[in-house]
A and B are shown apart, each in its own frame.
Chain A
């Protein structure tokens, strides 16, 4: 026994160095080549007027240009509006649905989970194609038929600057809650029953249980969803690109789309790199404050 213990101690101290590095080698090479190197390069390119054969160093010109570019600020504002309209609403909706699923049997829960998750399985492109048709500007379009029931006249949903942003927001409301619902449900199911039992003995109502047990318990999950949601929303690109192309009159130009256009439509790689770094800074700043303000009393 004693012998075994010393042997075990020795093994604990012994490191797995060789094999450890071998096991992470491919991951490390891929990471260096496709993440670390591009990130470092982004800084270099942002200081250049990039040309395939010999770029010129221009200092902070790309950053200065971005700051004085009205479109950059407009894109930032659009992205912020989109985020504020979609992220909190989607989280609240997911929370409500997750709570409402709770009283049912496991089987029923799974069926609802599957249905709500379904849009996440379809590709963004195919969903965009469907929503394009839903928002068809003709009188026969589904969205127009729906508002027609309320006596509202025909709308050019994606083609008018008054409704284009709202159309994208509506699409997000109805198709991007599946993941959050499942995550909330998993967190809800991990709450120990004894808390509810204790509350029942004290005669707590449903709302009191919600207020004093569920909400505090789900705070880390909410924070996780909020931070990942905001990060995701600030990078939004695909729907704006496929559905409106950023128009009309740049009403739906998001920062992600602006960077894409600068890079791959105008081949202004330097400016695109500078703006991507500004975007990263904005995201980091927002995440930091979310943590500071909301994460105060969370233990990990």
Chain B
């Protein structure tokens, strides 16, 4: 069965082959998660200056002093987490709703100009972010004068083309007959969407929610551009401040990095299936 040879007769050589492969995979896995492991264990060190720091791979003792140091470092350490949460939550909710609506329309509804509009959206995904960066900054900061507001942090990501594309791909597999039957029964489009399409699309909506939340939580560049006081920064931007203010305090830096990553790790381990599914949805057909 399958790609790998199953004509290996003896159990011994099969065991040896699989053992060899597993060893290789484990070594590579160790190299992959090493930085994360290193981040977490060093965050339990004492907040001493770099020169006095011991770089051990196994912690001699576990201390939460560096975490205390991180939260006492700035009056806004908690604000960063709160801001990140507000921004990521708003972006997630609006994307799930509006991208699902638009994705459904592009996948299953008929209206004039649909093909061209979708082609334009799709084409725009090829444009490098650098092109829109400067004009978008001018628009939000100089024209709308929204600098340092939640609106500036949220608005540009309110619904992204990638998410619309993801939903459309998924919805292409919903049979048209269901929708037509509903129409014959006299069901209007909003009702079809609410009572038929949304319940059928729970998976893609979950995938969308998770990937969007992750992207918004981890975003560094845009929040960095549009915030200019510490109380409006997100955790990613706050982390950077911290690094430049205290280049020599490594353990608290690691504590900060861990704090910014832990919510995503928790989400990842509890909803792993959706994360891993979501990655392949847009890329592999069928």
Contact = CB atoms under 8 A, between A and B. Distances in A.
Most chain B CB atoms below 10 A, which of A17, A28, A30: A30
A163 B104 CA distance: 50
Most chain B CB atoms below 10 A, which of A52, A123, A255: A123
Interface string A241-264: 010000000000001100110011
A15 B110 contact: yes
B29 A116 contact: yes
B44 interface: no
A26 B250 CA distance: 45
Contacts, number: 307
A72 interface: no
B279 A117 contact: yes
B245 interface: no
Nearest to B253: A129
Contacts of B7: 200
A2 interface: no
A42 B132 contact: yes
Contacts of A287: 126
Contacts of B164: 27
Contacts of B99: 27
A103 B98 CA distance: 41
Interface stretch (A63-71, A82-90, A140-148, A150-158): A140-148
A193 B134 contact: no
A190 B3 CA distance: 12
B196 interface: no
A115 B33 CA distance: 7
A141 B135 CA distance: 42
Interface string A2-22: 001001100110111101110
Interface stretch (B63-71, B200-208, B217-225): B217-225
Contacts of A50: 138
A10 B106 CA distance: 21
Given A140-B55, A256-B130, A279-B128, A27 B102 contact: yes
A254 B276 CA distance: 31
B154 to A, nearest CB: 11
Most chain A CB atoms below 10 A, which of B5, B6, B131, B183: B131
Contact of B110 (A20, A27, A177, A255): A20
B102 A123 contact: no
Contact of B35 (A97, A119, A264): A119
A38 B139 contact: yes
A81 interface: no
Contacts of B138: 41, 45, 50, 269
B13 interface: no
Given A114-B276, A129-B243, A42 B131 contact: yes
B11 interface: no
A24 B102 contact: yes
B159 A27 contact: yes
Interface string B98-141: 11011011100111101001000100101111111111111100
Given A17-B110, A121-B214, A123-B260, 20 more contacts: A23-B102, A27-B101, A30-B159, A104-B18, A115-B33, A117-B275, A121-B261, A122-B261, A123-B220, A123-B261, A129-B256, A130-B35, A174-B32, A186-B283, A190-B284, A221-B283, A259-B133, A276-B130, A280-B128, A280-B131
**6 shortest interchain CB distances as A-B pairs:** A20-B111, A126-B257, A38-B135, A41-B135, A23-B105, A19-B189
29 contacts: A15-B112, A17-B111, A20-B105, A23-B105, A26-B159, A30-B98, A31-B161, A34-B139, A35-B132, A38-B135, A103-B2, A103-B21, A104-B22, A110-B272, A112-B29, A116-B32, A121-B268, A123-B218, A123-B220, A123-B261, A125-B257, A182-B276, A183-B279, A191-B3, A197-B1, A272-B133, A276-B133, A279-B131, A284-B126
Interface of A: 4, 7-8, 11-12, 14-17, 19-21, 23-24, 26-28, 30-31, 33-39, 41-42, 45, 50, 52, 97, 99-104, 110, 112-119, 121-127, 129-134, 136, 138, 140-142, 145, 174-175, 177-179, 182-183, 185-188, 190-191, 193, 196-197, 200, 205-206, 209-210, 213-214, 221, 224-225, 231, 234-235, 237-238, 242, 255-256, 259-260, 263-264, 269, 272-273, 275-277, 279-280, 283-284, 287
